[in-house]
């Protein structure tokens, strides 16, 4: 298990490096092909604002959209103590705990770090799982927080959004300026080739970014499973929950 944890950590770092290199290369190709960095500047400004809002308020946004309600100790002491005990075992501060009124069994964690984290479970999850299964799922989500997966995936989502935004702006700018550029272009075979490459990348880059996101996400899911088992010391709980009608761990 610990070998798998270390392997997943290394693979995540490698994938993040590929992600960043891809973004830098994409920006270079677009700038070279378009010969004007104005649209990239605008994209960076928009992406920066979006990134700051997402990074600091992702938990609040998720809770507002889902209509979650806080788990109060007096109303649900068993559920509250379950999370409390897992946090003590993991040595983590207790995150905010919410319930979403939804019949579909599901759970997710969000927040930029353990001190600003949130765990949400649906009412359907509470109805369908026994205590051991529920402990396994919550330990899985708590592991995402302890392993800083919530921060990592927030950053990844932002990077995917930046790639999609820059690609879309490039394609639109090329479309609207196509006639002007065809009339006053004085040659430049290299730039013409780079323009073709840039158009291809603008179309394919969001797909590539999504594939990288899914690869990183899957690695972190494996890591969260391993960490959750180390917290509960009962792998059958999480395994039984995972065999349910739908994926119960985010």
List residues with catalytic annotation: 141
Sequence-ordered list of residues with C-beta below 8 angstroms from that of 191, at least 6 positions apart, any chain:
32, 33, 35
Sequence-ordered list of residues with C-beta below 8 angstroms from that of 55, at least 6 positions apart, any chain:
112, 154, 155, 158
CA gap 83, 136 in Å, rounded: 11
CA gap 189, 112 in Å, rounded: 46
Q: Give the CA dihedral 94, 98, 104, 109, nearest 10 degrees.
A: -40
Which residue in this structure is represented by tokens 């270390």?
A: 6
Angle at CA of residue 37, ends 33 and 42, nearest 5°: 130
């Amino acid at each position: 298990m610990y070998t798998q944890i270390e392997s997943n950590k290394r693979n995540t770092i490698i994938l993040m490096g590929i992600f960043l290199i891809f973004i830098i290369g994409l920006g270079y190709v677009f700038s070279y092909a378009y010969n004007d960095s104005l649209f990239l500047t605008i994209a960076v400004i928009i992406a920066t604002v979006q990134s700051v809002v997402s990074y600091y308020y992702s938990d609040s946004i998720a809770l507002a959209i889902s209509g979650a309600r806080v788990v109060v100790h007096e109303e649900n002491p068993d559920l509250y103590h379950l999370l409390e005990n897992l946090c003590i075992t993991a040595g983590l501060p207790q995150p905010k705990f919410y319930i979403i009124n939804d019949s579909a069994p599901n759970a997710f964690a969000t927040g930029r770090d353990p001190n600003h984290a949130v765990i949400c479970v649906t009412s359907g999850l509470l109805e369908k799982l026994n205590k051991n299964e529920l402990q396994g799922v919550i330990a899985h989500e708590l592991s995402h927080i302890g392993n800083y997966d919530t921060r990592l995936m927030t950053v990844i989502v932002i990077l995917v959004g930046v790639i999609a935004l820059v690609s879309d702006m490039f394609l639109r700018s090329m479309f609207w300026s196509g006639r002007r550029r065809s009339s006053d272009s004085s040659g430049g075979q290299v730039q013409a080739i780079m323009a073709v490459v840039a158009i291809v990348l603008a179309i394919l880059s969001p797909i590539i970014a999504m594939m990288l996101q899914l690869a990183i996400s899957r690695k972190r899911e494996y890591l969260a499973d391993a960490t959750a088992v180390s917290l509960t010391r009962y792998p059958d709980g999480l395994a039984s929950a995972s065999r349910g009608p739908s994926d119960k761990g985010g």
